[in-house]
Chain A
Amino acid sequence: MHSLVPLVVALPLLASAVLVALGRHVPRPGPDVVAIATAAATSVLCVLLAYAARDHDLVYWFGGWRPAHGIALGIDFDVDFASACVAALASVVATASLVFSWHYFDEVGVLFHALVLVFLAAMTGFALSGDLFNLFVFLELMSVVAVALTAYGDEPGPLQGALSFAVLNGIGAFFVLTGIGLVYARTGALNLEQVGRALEHRRPDGLVVVAFALIVCGFLTKAGIVPFHFWLSDAYAVAPAPVCAIFAGVMSDLGLHAAGRVYWSGFAGALASHEAGLRAVLVALGCASALLGGAMAFLQRDLKRMIAFVTVSQLGVGLVGIGLLKAVALGGSTLVVLSGGLLRAAALLAVGLVISVTGVGDELRGRGMGRRLPLTGIVVALAAIGLTGLPPFGTHAGRALVESGAPGGYGWLPVVLTVASILTSAALLRAAGRVFLGWGASSDSILGPQHVSAEDEEPRQRPRSPVLLVPAVVLLLLGLGLSLYPSVADQTTSAAARVVDHRAHAAEVLAGGPLTATRVDSDTFGATSLVSGIVSAVGAVALALLTLRLRRVSDLPGLLLVRPLKALHSGVVGDYVAWLVFGVALVGALFAFLLR
Chain B
Amino acid sequence: MSLRTRTGLFLASGSVLAGLLGWAFAGLPAFGHYHGVYGRALDRVSLGQTHAMSTIASVTFDYRGFDTLGEEFILFASVLGVSLLLREMRERDVDAKRLTERFEPIRATGRIGVPVLFLLGLFVIAHGYLSPGGGFQGGVVVAAAIVLLAIAVDYRAYSGLAPKSAADLVEGVGAGGYVAIGLGGLVAGATFLESFVSRGTIGELASSGTIALLSWSAGIEVAGATVVLASEFFEELLARRR
Contacts and interface: CB of A to CB of B under 8 A. Distances in A.
Contact of A581 (B17, B25, B73): B17
A144 B81 contact: yes
Given A182-B24, A588-B16, A148 B85 contact: yes
Contact of B80 (A114, A134, A575): A114
Given A13-B73, A74-B64, A148 B80 contact: yes
Interface residues of B, number: 73
B155 interface: no
A140 B74 contact: yes
A159 to B, nearest CB: 8
Interface stretch (A57-65, A218-226, A277-285): A57-65
A142 B5 CA distance: 32
Interface in B162-190: 165, 168-169, 171-173, 175-177, 179-180, 182-183, 185-186, 190
B234 interface: no
A148 B193 contact: no
Contact of B34 (A6, A148, A185): A185
Contacts of B183: 10, 14
A111 B7 CA distance: 40
Interface string B1-27: 101001101101110110011011111
Given A63-B194, A185-B34, A21 B13 contact: no
B206 interface: no
Interface of B: 1, 3, 6-7, 9-10, 12-14, 16-17, 20-21, 23-29, 34-42, 45, 62-67, 69-71, 73-74, 76-78, 80-85, 87-88, 165, 168-169, 171-173, 175-177, 179-180, 182-183, 185-186, 190-195
Contacts, number: 234
A593 B183 CA distance: 49
A104 B81 CA distance: 20
A186 B38 CA distance: 11
Interface stretch (A203-211, A514-522, A523-531): A203-211
B17 to A, nearest CB: 5
Contacts of B25: 182, 207
Q: Which 8 A-B pairs have the closest CB atoms?
A: A148-B81, A21-B172, A188-B36, A17-B176, A207-B27, A6-B192, A210-B24, A206-B23
Label chain B's interface by main secondary structure.
helix
A178 B42 CA distance: 23
A538 interface: no
Interface of A: 3, 5-6, 10, 13-14, 16-22, 24, 60-65, 68, 71-75, 109, 111-112, 114-115, 118, 121-122, 125, 133-134, 137-138, 140-141, 144-145, 147-149, 151-152, 178, 182, 184-190, 205-211, 213, 570, 572, 574-575, 577-579, 581-582, 584-586, 588-589, 592
A206 to B, nearest CB: 4
B74 A6 contact: no
B156 to A, nearest CB: 21
Contact of B182 (A3, A10, A134, A188): A10
8 contacts: A3-B191, A20-B76, A21-B168, A63-B193, A148-B81, A182-B28, A207-B25, A570-B1
A6 B182 contact: yes
